[in-house]
């Protein structure tokens, strides 16, 4: 279990993904985008719209089961991207760099961008927006749902 949690709303994810697109527009033009499933799908869609890029490929590398990390398994390679020349790889987060290392081996010529980056994985990313501490678990909008929370006065010990 992580020692800290950081909740990202849909609005914030959209703003941060758009900010990433602003950083990437000058580095293009891009032949296509490789969305890293599952977390990179929504940021990739936002960035594809902002960069007017219509060619989208996906790659599926499984490294997590809930919060438990395992060995990476490539469930679906990004065949259309070749070695990545002119391609932009988008993920939501780089954590320890396990997925990024796998991607670098598969797409050595691609530009790798994430919305969020942790210190251990940051050196493997070409462009990112926000750094978070290594011990923080990001709760993305697809991981949470709004629910009632009692007022502090009702739950505080008296």
Round to whole Å and give the CA distance between 68 and 90.
Answer: 22
The active-site residue out of 11, 16, 95, 143 is 95
Q: What CATH number labels 4-144?
A: 3.40.50.2020
Looking at residue 68, what is its pLDDT?
64
* Tokens linked to 123: 């050196």
Contact 110, 88 (CB under 8 A): yes
Q: pLDDT for 1-54, tens place per residue?
A: 567 899 999 999 999 999 999 999 999 999 999 999 999 999 999 999 999 999
pTM: 0.87
Judge whether 91 counts as a catalytic residue. Answer: yes
Q: What is the rounded CA–CA span in Å between residue 30 and residue 61?
A: 22
In the set 16, 92, 126, 143, the catalytic residue is 92
Number of Cβ within 10 Å of residue 50's Cβ equals 16
């Amino acid at each position: 279990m992580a020692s800290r949690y950081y909740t990202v709303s849909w609005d914030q994810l959209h703003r941060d993904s758009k900010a990433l697109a602003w950083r990437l527009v000058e580095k293009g033009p891009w032949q296509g985008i490789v969305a890293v499933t599952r977390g990179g799908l929504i940021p990739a869609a936002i960035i594809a719209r902002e960069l007017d890029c219509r060619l989208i490929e996906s790659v599926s590398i499984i490294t997590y089961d809930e919060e438990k990390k395992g060995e990476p398994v490539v469930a679906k390679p990004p065949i259309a991207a070749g070695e990545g020349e002119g391609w932009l790889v988008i993920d939501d987060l780089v954590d320890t760099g396990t997925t990024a290392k796998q991607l670098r081996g598969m797409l050595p010529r691609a530009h790798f961008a994430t919305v969020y980056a942790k210190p251990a994985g940051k050196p493997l990313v070409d462009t990112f927006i926000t750094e978070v501490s290594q011990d923080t678990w990001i709760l993305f909008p697809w991981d949470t749902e709004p629910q009632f929370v009692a007022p502090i006065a009702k739950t505080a010990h008296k």
